[in-house]
Copies of this chain bind each other. A is one copy, B any other.
Amino acid sequence: MITLSSDFGTPYPAAMKGVILQQTQPRLVDITHELPRQDVRAGAFWLREILPYFPPAVHLVVVDPGVGTDRSAIAVVAGDHVFVAPDNGVVIPAAKGLADEIDVFEIDLGEPESSTFHGRDIFAPAAAIIHDQPDEDWQNDDRFSPCEEYIEVEFPVPDIGEDNARGEVVVVDGFGNAITNIPGKVLADHFGEAIRVNQVYAGVARSYGHAEPGARLVTVGSHGNVELAVNRGRGDEAFGVDTGSRVRLNW
């Protein structure tokens, strides 16, 4: 199985699929091609949330603002999973979530056909090669060299106090739910209460439908983090936040 994730929108992902299917016949599963554009940290967040639900696979990931510069292409081994991606950190949190230790290989497939679409010209062919050579044979292929250094991304660390927590919005999902870096456990004793979120008050609810339609609420999202939401509406707009906005909760 090869999964595909990118910020490409459409139709570029199809070229990657064609390249793979010229070489091997895996199950192909699109994770998403709507990762926030060129936002490596947001991409890393989503992949860390979604990919652990998958069985072992080759995960092709391209969020690549540095395409055509001297950033490397890497393959990252995490247990039975292998990630193929630019060396900008986008897959490292997901990989570390899947295995205690990871091994990183630099990919060198020679000169690519283009300077602007390495998804097609480097990452897709590399994913196909790895898929075709199970049992780690690919790790002995000259085109893959072990490397010790690689780029990591840092998620901001929230600040948890006695009666408050401070963090920020990491991503906003398509429903408008503003997902923060604050762990949901801070809300454990406050379900049913109103708490302060920056300048406004909102109820702490088990899920969206526990608030009135149109009402602001604070909940624990499926990722385990505090989420600012509106029942049948958009939390980002109602709370006036976007990716990167500071969030302070007081209870």
Contact = CB atoms under 8 A, between A and B. Distances in A.
B8 A174 contact: yes
The number of times this chain is found in the oligomer is 3
A157 interface: no
Contacts of A51: 18
A21 B55 contact: yes
Interface string A201-237: 0000011111000000001111010010001100000
Contacts of A117: 221-222
A136 interface: no
Interface string A8-48: 11111011011101100101111111110110000000100
Contact of A227 (B8, B22, B116, B231): B116
A221 to B, nearest CB: 6
Given A21-B1, A29-B17, A54-B22, A209 B34 contact: no
A33 B28 CA distance: 18
Interface of A: 1, 3, 5, 8-12, 14-15, 17-19, 21-22, 25, 27-35, 37-38, 46, 49-55, 65-69, 71, 113-117, 120-121, 173-175, 206-210, 219-222, 224, 227, 231-232
Contact of A50 (B11, B46, B67, B174): B11
A5 B14 CA distance: 10
Contacts of A22: 53-55
Contacts of A53: 14-15, 18-19, 22, 120
Given A21-B1, A54-B18, A68 B209 contact: yes
